[in-house]
Amino acid sequence: MTPWPRSPIAVLAASLALFAACKGDDGGSQGSSDDANTGFGDDDDSGSQGSESVDESVGESQGETDPTGVETLGEGELRGILTFTRYLADPVIDTDEVAMAGAWRHVDVGWDGVEDFVAVFPYQSGFPLPPAGDDELEHNDVPAPFDWGDVEDWRPAGNAMKLRSGDVEALACLLEVGMVGDIFPVYAATTAMVQPEGCAPELDDWVPDTDYDIVLYGGDAFADNVLLDQVHTPATFTATAPDLDELLLAVPRSQALTVQWDGAADEGSRFVIRVWDDFGRMFTIRAVDDGEYSIPAADLGVLAEGPITISLARERVADVPFTDGIVKAVTRVERRGYLDLYAE
């Protein structure tokens, strides 16, 4: 698996040889409730009725309030995923970037084994889940391209998914992607010309260590859900060792590689380290978030000599129940480095 550039904007259309078109006006009806215990609210609870820069049909409710289903949150047949990532600047791309992508599928398929949907769309990459144990390192098979499966298992809903915190709003807008005959409904924040203004990712949308409401526009599939303070971004961090600011820093295979980072961990997050070579050989570590992890030389020795990529990420994963099922909300901050592994 040759390391792909981390920018989800630069290669948006390329990886699927895709066709993309923005959906029309189908925002759906607004689901809300005054019962604070449900997490439900109104789409203007934060003083905003959708981003002013967005086309009025995108990310806004267009029907009646319908709180039906509040008593049975999570029991429906829809399974959603929404990944919201901040990529920290690295030697290849010298600015931070934000990416957001999501989708809906039937419960029979769901999203088991998938958390980083930004890796799926637009890159068709599927990173393995991290190990369950603290400071556990697991060698992975060469990741296969993402299996999109049967288009009938995918579910279109409204025209957007939204995360908001106060005046900050991040929108992933509906695209149709794929080839004729296999058109998949995907939600993404992109600069694609077919997307309405306001659906582009903005750095200021991703605020560290912050609660976000999640707004799920249902279109004809379900009543809109406004779920308050259900998603939380992790605290950010700074990689301090090895020197990831140096492109292709030389590191020996015969010595342990000490990885260090600054930035206080937050409760509910995890710290994940991945390392892979140009052939896709990879291992994944769920590190205790205490600022240091030493990668044994024996594990580095499994990788081929030459360029390797290291990824450090702090992540939070939340299964958020709503009226018609569950949506997996994944928030991440990631820093990559590009090293040169050599034999002494």
The C-alpha angle with vertex 89 and arms to 83 and 91, in degrees rounded to 5, equals 130
- The pLDDT of residue 39 is 55
The C-alpha angle with vertex 217 and arms to 211 and 221, in degrees rounded to 5, equals 135
The more confident residue out of 212 and 46 is: 212
Residue 17, pLDDT > 50, answer no
Q: Which band of pLDDT confidence, cut at 50, 70 and 90, is reported for residue 41?
A: low
Q: Which band of pLDDT confidence, cut at 50, 70 and 90, is reported for residue 53?
A: very low
**What is the per-residue pLDDT across 283-332, written as a single tens digit (0 to 9) for each?**
999 999 999 999 999 999 999 999 999 999 999 999 999 999 999 999 99
**Sheet containing strand 257-262, strands side by side:** 238-241, 257-262, 292-295
- The pLDDT of residue 267 is 87
- The pLDDT of residue 191 is 85
Query: What are the residues whose beta carbons fall under 8 Å from the beta carbon of 120, sequence distance 6 or more?
Result: 101, 114, 126, 146
The more confident residue out of 194 and 15 is: 194
- The pLDDT of residue 195 is 79
* CA-to-CA dists, residue 165 to 11, 106, 144, 211, 256, angstroms: 29, 29, 36, 7, 42
Mean pLDDT to the nearest integer, 116-136: 92
Q: Which strand (E) or helix (H) includes residue 300? A: helix 297-300
Q: Which band of pLDDT confidence, cut at 50, 70 and 90, is reported for residue 218?
A: very high
Q: Which band of pLDDT confidence, cut at 50, 70 and 90, is reported for residue 163?
A: very high
| Alpha-carbon span 79 to 319, nearest angstrom | 10
- The pLDDT of residue 40 is 54
Query: What are the residues whose beta carbons fall under 8 Å from the beta carbon of 308, sequence distance 6 or more?
Result: 275, 276, 277, 278, 338, 339, 340, 341
| Alpha-carbon span 162 to 228, nearest angstrom | 12
Encode burial over 164-178: b for 16+ CB neighbours within 10 A, e otherwise. bbeebbbbbbbbbbb
Cα distance between the two ends of the chain: 25
What is the three-class DSSP state of 103? strand
* CA-to-CA dists, residue 148 to 44, 161, 178, 182, 295, angstroms: 35, 20, 10, 10, 34
- Indicate the Cα dihedral angle 90, 92, 96, 100, nearest 10°: -120
**What is the per-residue pLDDT across 225-267, written as a single tens digit (0 to 9) for each?**
999 999 999 999 999 999 999 999 999 999 999 999 998 888 8
- The pLDDT of residue 239 is 98
Query: What is the residue type of 35?
Result: D
Q: Which band of pLDDT confidence, cut at 50, 70 and 90, is reported for residue 58?
A: low
Look at residues 155, 63, 50 and name the one whose alpha carbon lies nearest to residue 102: 155
Residue-by-residue DSSP string for 169-181: EEEEEEEEEEETT
| Alpha-carbon span 228 to 225, nearest angstrom | 10
Q: Percentage of the chain surpassing pLDDT 90?
A: 69
- The pLDDT of residue 94 is 95
Residue 11, pLDDT > 70, answer no
Residue 22, pLDDT > 80, answer no
In whole numbers, what is the pLDDT of the chain averaged over residues? 84
Q: Are 74 and 320 in contact (CB under 8 A)?
A: no
